[in-house]
């Protein structure tokens, strides 16, 4: 395998350190507006407080891999990011000082499992399917999480084996806020499930 081949990427943007920059403010605005449309007021207030608390920086975790690349690729990506964040912490760089990670995952729910008046947050946790299976471990440790529909912004997809009997899936985005002190537990789960 060529070492220069790219199968995915991972990075972290410290939203707190970048406060006031257009991109960081747009990310926070998008997340808060999606939360307002899909969550109770108390959840919106909690998220707003966490995103704007300068004493507990929030890092926006970006992780993606090409379609059909197995989840085993995620393990070395996350391991390398954790090494880099530990080094950044030692050298007192902003990205190493995050207290929370913010992650937006591509998720799906069976189209037949909802009715038009039902909000996405009311779906059972077990109904969510993750496009990147490893992100389910982040979901388990998140202190705040909610989903919102992107049905109008994307194509439909099918679950299962691509037959006419497959259940249509509604695309969602699931926002999660994970405490950084839970990363060791998440990494252990990634190692247990993704080691080859």
Tens of each residue's pLDDT in the chain, 196 residues:
566 778 888 999 999 999 989 999 999 999 999 999 999 999 999 999 999 999 999 999 999 988 788 888 889 999 999 999 999 989 888 777 899 999 999 999 987 654 333 344 444 555 899 999 899 999 999 999 999 999 887 555 545 445 556 678 889 999 999 999 999 999 999 999 888 6
Query: CA separation (Å) from 156 to 73, 89, 111, 171, 172?
Result: 26, 42, 10, 7, 11
- Asked whether residue 18 is domain-assigned, the answer is yes
Which value, to the nearest 10 degrees, does the dihedral of the CA atoms of residues 80, 17, 147, 171 take? -60
Q: How far is it, in rounded angstroms, from Cα 88 to Cα 74? A: 21
Segments forming the whole domain that contains residue 125 = 8-194
| DSSP helix/strand/coil, 64 | strand
- Asked whether residue 32 is domain-assigned, the answer is yes
Structural tokens at position 50: 């966490």
- Asked whether residue 2 is domain-assigned, the answer is no
158 and 167 Cβ atoms separated by less than 8 Å: yes
- Asked whether residue 94 is domain-assigned, the answer is yes
- Asked whether residue 3 is domain-assigned, the answer is no
- Asked whether residue 138 is domain-assigned, the answer is yes
Structural domain total, the chain:
1
**Can you give the pTM of this predicted structure?**
0.83
């Amino acid at each position: 395998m060529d070492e220069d081949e790219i199968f995915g990427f991972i990075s972290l943007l410290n939203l707190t350190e970048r406060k006031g920059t257009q991109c960081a403010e747009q990310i926070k605005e998008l997340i808060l507006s999606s939360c307002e449309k899909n969550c109770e007021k108390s959840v919106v207030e909690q998220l707003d407080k966490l995103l704007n608390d300068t004493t507990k920086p929030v890092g926006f975790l970006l992780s993606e891999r090409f379609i059909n690349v197995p989840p085993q690729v995620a393990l070395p990506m996350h391991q390398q990011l954790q090494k880099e964040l530990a080094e950044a912490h030692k050298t007192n760089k902003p990205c190493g000082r995050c207290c929370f990670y913010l992650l937006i995952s591509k998720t799906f729910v069976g189209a037949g499992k909802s009715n038009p008046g039902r909000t996405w947050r009311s779906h059972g946790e077990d109904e969510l399917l993750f496009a990147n299976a490893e992100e389910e471990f982040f979901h388990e440790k998140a202190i705040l999480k909610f989903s919102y529909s992107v049905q109008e912004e994307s194509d439909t997809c099918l679950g299962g084996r691509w037959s006419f009997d497959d259940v249509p899936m509604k695309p969602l985005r699931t926002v999660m806020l994970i405490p950084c002190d839970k990363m060791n537990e998440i990494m252990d789960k990634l190692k247990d499930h993704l080691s080859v």
